[in-house]
A and B are shown apart, each in its own frame.
Chain A
Amino acid sequence: MGQTADLSVDVTQRLDAAPQPFVVAPSFDVALPPGAIVVLFGPSGAGKTTILRQLAGLERPDRGVIRAGGATWCDVGRGVWVPPQQRRVGLVLQQPSLFPHISVRGNIFYGRRASGGADAQELSRLLGSLGVDAWLDRRPRTLSGGEAQRVALARALAHAPQIALLDEPFASLDTPTRTRLRGDVRQLLRRTGTPAVFVTHDRAEAMALGDRIVVVLAGRVRQVGGVADVFSRPIDADVAAALGVEAVLAARVVAASGGVLTIAVGGRTIHVAEREPLDVGTNVFACIRAEDVTIEMRSPAHASARNHLAARVASITTEGVFDRVTLDCGFTLDALITHQSREELGLVPGAEVAAAIKATAVHLVPLA
């Protein structure tokens, strides 16, 4: 991965924040192909925003190097520092932060005089796809939260940034607006070929948008990888706790009827209670908690029973009063059971069993 990295960060910065100093020292390499979204994921206060500000040139690391797209933005040892004005980043914050004294048009065209930006045709497509072209003469004050955030996105993308830097841009919006905007942003970044770094503490958002995910804990990067990889195989207990204890499986909706969706996962199908309508063909992540997976001895009756998957026990590890049984059923699935159940079932690695999952225990996150 390191040799083709388009974004390479290895810096240290001490912040004199109350109540005690905090060190943000991210170190990661990640590819940024056109339209790709890298999610910086972690709990609140982990330092995600500071990392984004370091990328934008708004925070100055005490030491280290930041390289992006072949250019060195920061190399403290060699005295290299590119100011935010010359990094060509498109910054969108949780608050729209529109200039209140100028119109929507003035806001969108604000940076273009200084930095050039998208050509007229591309710009009008951009405004159309974000739906902001109808509000150009309005004042920022008259916009709703979702509208203002669309204008902020248009302003950031209108100057054709090399990288879009998005800091929880949807966090203060209501759920329907957020979901719609998520899809629009994904499409827009793809169409314009703009790579993005996206900060969020929201798991569903990280799964829906992330091509790569960078897990940030206590000011440090703990894991980098694809969404399914990182969620399914956290490298240690801290990361697992931050990510939540669920199997996250890449899946696809193959049928929908009577409030039940059928999803295909690793050559198997699982029935899922439909919480929100999803079209057949939608790519999703299926999240299944280990507590919701039960293990039964395999019998002929199971072959036709719903959500009973033939499985082989891959490994068993003890976690306190529970045993974590890792099953191979075409994909990897964990079940958390008591020692007692394990003994009653006589489970050992290699045993042939059936994994049962309740249709209501599977949570689906559609990809944006």
Chain B
Amino acid sequence: MDWDALWLSVRLAAATTTILLAIGIPLAYWIVFSPRRWKILVEAVVALPLVLPPTVLGFYVLVAIGPNSPVGRLYARLVGHGLPFTFEGLLVASVLYSLPFAVQPFSAEFAAVDRRLLEVSWTLGLSRAATFVRVVLPLSVRGLVTGIVLSFAHTLGEFGVVLMVGGNLPGATRTVSISIYDAVQSLDYAAAARTSFVLLVISFVILTATYSLQRSAWVKLRT
């Protein structure tokens, strides 16, 4: 059992989910409430990771953060080392890869809030931002929880992007899925089975807990 790899995956998933909450909520808000026509383009870009093979996404991220790109060079000058094959590089790739798993449930739930509630709130003197915090967010608990859990679980299980961007450095970029792949490659089926089973149990527990929580949160809100 590769506990280091599991711990790394959990850290990566937690960090990715936190960042997705911070950028996903404003992005989803903008997609739902902006009158701009070209927001459709942004929606499409956000959804791309759903259809692109992880290797394609990983390839572009690798090129974008590599030493030959301006971003990569700037980062290297500021921090002292490059992004590829580091935990931070992996984090950037994971955030992009899981973006639709956060933004889509958020925006679907924001859009489902009765617009009349927002308008009444505005006439009662509350700004758009205050209305968002006091009406839209509380009524979107279900979508927020869904987005958080999907992002977390999706990052925990990602493989292709990690392989492209992170490689296989123990303690830095060797996530649990890479560890399982390695074990199988070296014909250590017992190790692969143990790690796989732990990952299966963790994922199942997270999803079960979420769904039951979501139901009670939902029931509390709507009743």
Name which of A67-75, A93-101, A281-289 contacts chain B: A93-101
Instruction: Assess the A84–B122 pair: CB atoms within 8 A.
Output: yes
Residue of B114, B119, B126, B138 near A114 (CB, 8 A) is B126
Question: At the interface, yes or no: B47 with Cβ under 8 Å from chain A?
Answer: no
Interface digits, B96-140 against A, CB 8 Å rule (1 contact, 0 not)?
000000000000000000101101111111110010001100110
Whether the Cβ atoms of B223 and A139 lie closer than 8 Å is yes
Count of chain A residues near B, Cβ 8 A = 27
Q: Are B126 and A91 in contact (CB-based, < 8 A)?
A: no
Q: Which residues of A contact B122 (CB under 8 A)?
A: 57-58, 83-85
B222 within 8 A of A: yes
B125 A114 Cβ-Cβ under 8 A: yes
Q: In the complex where A97-B114, A99-B117 touch, is A141 in contact with B124 (Cβ < 8 A)?
A: no
Tell me if A84 and B123 are in contact (CB < 8 A). Answer: yes
Contact of A89 with B by CB under 8 A: yes
B119 touches A85 (CB 8 A): no
Q: Which residues of B contact A89 (CB under 8 A)?
A: 123
Per-residue B-contact encoding for A126-142, CB less than 8 Å = 1, 0 else: 00000000000001010
Q: Does B124 contact A115, Cβ atoms closer than 8 Å?
A: yes
Interface residues on chain B, size class: 20 to 34
Question: Cβ of A97 and Cβ of B120 under 8 Å apart?
Answer: yes
Query: In the bound complex, do residue A159 and residue B124 qualify as a contact, i.e. CB atoms below 8 Å apart?
Result: yes
Indicate whether A22 reaches chain B with its CB closer than 8 angstroms. Answer: no
Q: Does A110 contact B (CB under 8 A)?
A: yes
In the complex, chain A residues 35-92 whose Cβ is within 8 Å of any chain B Cβ:
56-58, 83-91
Structural contact, B135 and A99, CB atoms closer than 8 A: yes
B190 contacts the other chain (CB 8 A): no
| B116 adjacent to A97 (CB under 8 Å) | yes
Instruction: Please measure, in the bound complex, the distance between the C-alpha atom of A314 and the C-alpha atom of B119, giving whole angstroms.
Output: 52
Task: Say yes or no: B223 contacts A110, CB within 8 Å.
Answer: no
In the complex, what's the smallest C-beta–C-beta distance from A91 to chain B, in angstroms?
A: 4
CB contacts between A and B, total, < 8 Å: 63
Q: Which residues of B contact A111 (CB under 8 A)?
A: 121, 124-126
Contact: B124 with A155, CB < 8 Å? Answer: yes
Whether, in the assembled complex, B23 has its beta carbon less than 8 Å from a beta carbon of chain A, the answer is: no
Docked CA distance A47–B199 (Å) = 59
A84-B119, A95-B116 as given contacts; A101 in contact with B139, CB under 8 Å = yes
Nearest-CB distance from B222 to chain A (Å)? 7
Quick check: is B221 within 8 A (CB to CB) of the other chain? yes
Which chain B residue has the least Cβ–Cβ distance from A116? B125
Report the 4 A-B pairs with minimum CB-CB distance, sorted nearest first.
A111-B124, A115-B125, A114-B125, A84-B122
- A-side interface residues toward B, CB under 8 Å? 56-58, 83-91, 93, 95, 97, 99-101, 110-111, 114-115, 139, 141, 155, 159, 165
A-B contact pairs, 24 of them (CB 8 A): A56-B119, A57-B122, A58-B122, A58-B123, A84-B119, A84-B122, A84-B123, A85-B125, A85-B127, A86-B125, A88-B125, A93-B116, A97-B114, A97-B116, A97-B120, A99-B121, A100-B221, A110-B121, A111-B121, A114-B125, A114-B130, A141-B223, A155-B124, A159-B124
* 18 extra A-B contacts, CB within 8 A, seeds A91-B119, A114-B130, A159-B124: A57-B122, A57-B123, A58-B119, A58-B122, A58-B123, A84-B119, A85-B125, A85-B127, A90-B123, A97-B116, A97-B120, A99-B117, A101-B135, A110-B121, A111-B121, A114-B125, A115-B125, A141-B223
- Report which B residues bind A (CB closer than 8 A): 114, 116-117, 119-127, 130, 134-135, 138-139, 221-223
